[in-house]
Homo-oligomer: A and B are copies of this chain.
Amino acid sequence: MQSQRLPTLEDVARVAGVSRATVSRVVNGIRNVDPQLHQQVWAAVDQTGYVPNRMARSLVTRRTGTVALVVSDSETHDDDPFMGRFFSDPYFGRVVGGLMSVLRPLGVQLALQMVGADGHKRLVGDLRNGQADGAVVLSLPARDPLPGLLADAGIPAVLIGRPAEPVPISYVDLDNEAGAALAADRLATRGCRRPVMISGPPDVPASVDRISGFRRAMARHGHAWIPQETGNFTQDSGEQSMRALLAAHPRLDAVFVANDLMALGALLVLHDAGRRVPEDVAVVGFDDSSAALSARPALTTVRHPLEDMAAEAARMLLSRLDDPDERVTSVIYEPTLVERQTA
């Protein structure tokens, strides 16, 4: 029965015995309408089962009631079917959950947008033409041109994670330096003698900050020299890095790993190498993703309140939509250490 015409404003107006304009006013709760009519109109709405047509409304208001979650990975090509399997990373789900928690109560839609190396221009075009009112951008690669393009196009947007290059767009981020320092302090407090670290890619801001934060804090504890291997945030790279570190520095007794997934890999390698965690080697991860809990032993890690951050990003975007001239701002979250068994 879907083909039967859906009731329109016109229909409701006829039933209620008023004009379209009045119905529109009532439905949108605008202006003082005589309580009597108000009543009649709602009755007519119920009776007809009327639901406003989104497109028609958007066409005139120039608002879609949709925001896009843009996952930008300009290092992946558009024809990679699963976009580098990013989706199975718990990261993605946490962001979606956080966004939803503020969007859904407000009746705002969330539209998913992937964009690889090629799609930037098209994305911007689509966004300008009513795909969405604004975008929350998850920028994976280091130097992503997307934020710049969005800013130029004047598309309301909020980034999750500080952009690599300064750009006039608001963002939420974590104080990665402080997080890494937390890890360093923990490790130092346990009395480690030979700390090492497994870092993320050297060109993404979060990664850079974690490195410098860890080094700086360790320096304060008297550790001037921290051997380091570079991974790419996958479990596999964590394993490789740990193996390399173990080979080069057999007597290491503490390792800071720049995210939980890599930490998981490191734990595996450590176990295989017969090192006891945390007795022989202490390990601290980063993110407090679901992976941390399933680790064996349970991973001590730096909590990254991604859900909250995503929720805040949504709020910032919404408020910018209300007032486009709002100042560009940033909100930085403070990480905390969650102590489990590995350190």
Contacts and interface: CB of A to CB of B under 8 A. Distances in A.
Contacts of A192: none
A208 interface: no
Given A2-B153, A114-B104, A296 B293 contact: no
Interface residues of A, number: 67
B111 A111 contact: yes
A129 B6 contact: yes
Interface in A235-265: 235, 261, 264-265
A64 interface: yes
A64 B267 CA distance: 48
Interface string A124-136: 0110111100000
Contact of A129 (B52, B90, B93): B52
Nearest to A132: B109
A55 B128 CA distance: 12
A59 B66 contact: no
A88 B94 contact: yes
A52 B131 CA distance: 11
A95 to B, nearest CB: 8
A109 B97 contact: no
Nearest to A62: B55
Q: Is the interface of A mostly helix, strand, loop or mixed?
A: helix
A130 B53 contact: yes
A295 B324 CA distance: 48
A47 interface: no
Nearest to A236: B293
A82 B307 contact: yes
A126 B293 CA distance: 38
A126 to B, nearest CB: 7
A87 B93 contact: yes
Interface string A80-100: 011101111110111011101
A109 B129 CA distance: 14
A39 interface: no
A88 B82 contact: no
A154 interface: yes
Contacts of A268: 294, 296
A82 B97 contact: yes
A152 to B, nearest CB: 8
A112 to B, nearest CB: 5
A-B pairs with lowest CB-CB distance, top 6: A2-B154, A87-B93, A87-B97, A51-B125, A81-B101, A55-B58
26 contacts: A53-B129, A54-B129, A54-B130, A55-B55, A55-B56, A82-B97, A82-B101, A83-B100, A85-B97, A86-B97, A87-B94, A87-B97, A88-B97, A89-B290, A90-B90, A93-B93, A96-B112, A100-B114, A109-B112, A109-B113, A109-B131, A111-B112, A112-B112, A235-B293, A294-B294, A294-B295
